[in-house]
């Protein structure tokens, strides 16, 4: 997979940031390894990461922003969770849904 990643390719302008994109399968493999080694939470984080690989940088930034305190309404978070499910990111969606529940109860919504 790494043959394309050469200094020559960079000099000739044939490399783009997309070429440095992680492979979700790699993150999945690392997640398996972390879990086999006794850290389920690290595994879960890496599985969420695998879901985020294909989300463009700007949307990723927006997703982070939406979860910060007092940034989103309940319905905005609910829509966000649904869109994440549709984009094949159920674990991230679950994180958002869980956040929405607590934000509501703890006054952290917008």
Partner 1 sequence: MTNVSDSELSSTAPRQLGRLRMLDTRRVNLDGFVVPNPELGLVAMASPYDPQPSLVIRDGRIVEMDGKAEADFDSLDDFIATRGIDLGVAEEAMAMSDLAIARAAVDPAIPRSEVVRIVAGITPAKLAQVVALLKPVEMLMAITKMRVRRTPSIQAHVTNQLDDPLLLAADAAMAVAYGFRELETTVPVLADAPSNAVALLIGSQVGVPGALTQCSIEEALELRLGLRGLTTYAETVSLYGTEQTFTDGDDTPWSKALLASAYASRGLKMRVTSGGGAEVLMGAAERCSMLYLESRCVSLARAIGTQGVQNGGIDGAAMVASVPDGMRELLAENLMVMMRDLESCSGNDSLISESDIRRSAHTTPLLLAGSDYIFSGYGSISSYDNTFASSNFNGEDIDDYFVLQRDWGVDGGLKNRTAEDLEAVRRRAAKATQAVYRDLGLAVYDDERVEEVVYANDSRDLSAGDPRAVLEAANAIEGRQLSVIDIIASLARTGYAEEAANVMAMMRERLKGDHLQTAAIYDESMNVMSKITDPNDYSGPGTGYEMSASRRHEIDDIRQARSLAELVTDQKPHEGHIKVTEVGPAEVGTNPREVCIGVSPAFAKTVWLSLSGLTIGEVLRQISAGLEEEGCTVRYVRVPGTIDLGAIGLITARLSGSGIGIGLQGKGTALIQRRDLTPLANLELFSIAPLVTAKMYRQLGQNAARHAKGMSPAAILGLGTDEAIAARYHARAVALVNLDREACEPDRGPVTIEVQR
The C-alpha atoms of residue 97 and residue 39 are separated, in whole angstroms, by 23
Provide the 10 A C-beta neighbour count for residue 72: 22
The interface mask with partner 1, positions 25-64, x = CB under 8 A, is: -xx-xx--xx--xxxxxxxxxx-xxxxxx-x-x--xx-xx
74 binds partner 1 (CB under 8 A): no
Cβ at position 13, least distance to partner 1 in Å: 7
The C-alpha atoms of residue 74 and residue 53 are separated, in whole angstroms, by 26
E-strand stretches of 2-107 = none
85 binds partner 1 (CB under 8 A): no
Q: Which is nearer to partner 1, 33 or 82 (CB)?
A: 33
Q: How many CA atoms lie within 13 A of 34 on its CB side?
A: 15
Question: With contacts defined by CB under 8 A, how many residues of the chain interact with partner 1?
Answer: 58
Q: Which is nearer to partner 1, 21 or 86 (CB)?
A: 21
Cβ at position 76, least distance to partner 1 in Å: 14
The C-alpha atoms of residue 67 and residue 27 are separated, in whole angstroms, by 23
């Amino acid at each position: 997979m790494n043959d394309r990643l050469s200094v020559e390719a960079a000099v000739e302008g044939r490399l783009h940031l997309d070429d440095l994109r992680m492979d979700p399968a790699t993150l999945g493999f690392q997640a398996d390894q972390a879990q086999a080694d006794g850290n389920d939470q690290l595994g879960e984080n890496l599985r969420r990461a695998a879901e985020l690989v294909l989300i463009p940088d700007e949307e990723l930034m927006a997703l982070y922003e939406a979860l910060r305190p007092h940034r989103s309404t309940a319905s905005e978070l609910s829509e966000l969770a649904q869109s994440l499910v549709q984009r094949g990111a159920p674990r991230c969606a679950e994180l958002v849904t869980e956040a929405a529940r607590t934000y509501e109860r703890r006054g952290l919504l917008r």
